[in-house]
Amino acid sequence: MTDKIEASLRMTGDNFSPAVLEKLTGWTLVRKKEVGDLTKRGKLTVGSADLCPPKEVENNEDLFKGLEWILEVVPSHLSSINKSGADDVYLDIAYYRDVAVFNLGFKPEILKKIANLNMPFLISCYGDYMD
């Protein structure tokens, strides 16, 4: 049976600058877009970026290791996230499993850490997942 959890912190905002947040935190963000960046559809009116666990953490055999990494590094930088202009911030959890019907549970310690972030979190579940 194959299980996989991907966790990320998703951030957007009219004045959000991923570059500023990287300077304030030392993080390496992914899927970075600055306000004013040019795309095929014109200039972006919002900035956006995701914080994902480093590959060595995400590829750990512990299913929850990437999520736990996010929950450890984010709380001390909540003010930096705010200072960088992010005003829509949420925890995004994707669970992949190679069966059609399944359950996902969290230890109480993880739920407490999620609640202490005081932000929305989304959980998406994908059945019949194969590597």
**Each residue of 56-91: pLDDT tens digit?**
887 667 889 999 999 999 999 999 999 999 999 999
Question: Phi/psi of residue 88, each to 5°?
Answer: -125, 100
Tell me if 22 is assigned to some domain: yes
For the chain, what is the mean pLDDT?
Answer: 91
Tell me if 131 is assigned to some domain: no
Tell me if 94 is assigned to some domain: yes
User: Which pLDDT score is estimated for 129?
Assistant: 59
Tell me if 52 is assigned to some domain: yes
User: Which pLDDT score is estimated for 55?
Assistant: 87
Judge contact between 57 and 65, C-beta under 8 A: yes
Structural domain of residue 23, as residue ranges? 3-126
Residues 2-20 have a mean pLDDT of 94
Tell me if 35 is assigned to some domain: yes
Q: Count CB neighbours of 84 within 10 A.
A: 23
Q: What pTM does this model have? A: 0.88
- Residue 92 burial by Cβ neighbours in a 10 Å radius (0-12, 13-18, 19+): middle
Q: Nearest-5° angle of CA 37, CA 119, CA 34?
A: 5
User: Which pLDDT score is estimated for 74?
Assistant: 97
Q: How many domains does the chain have?
A: 1
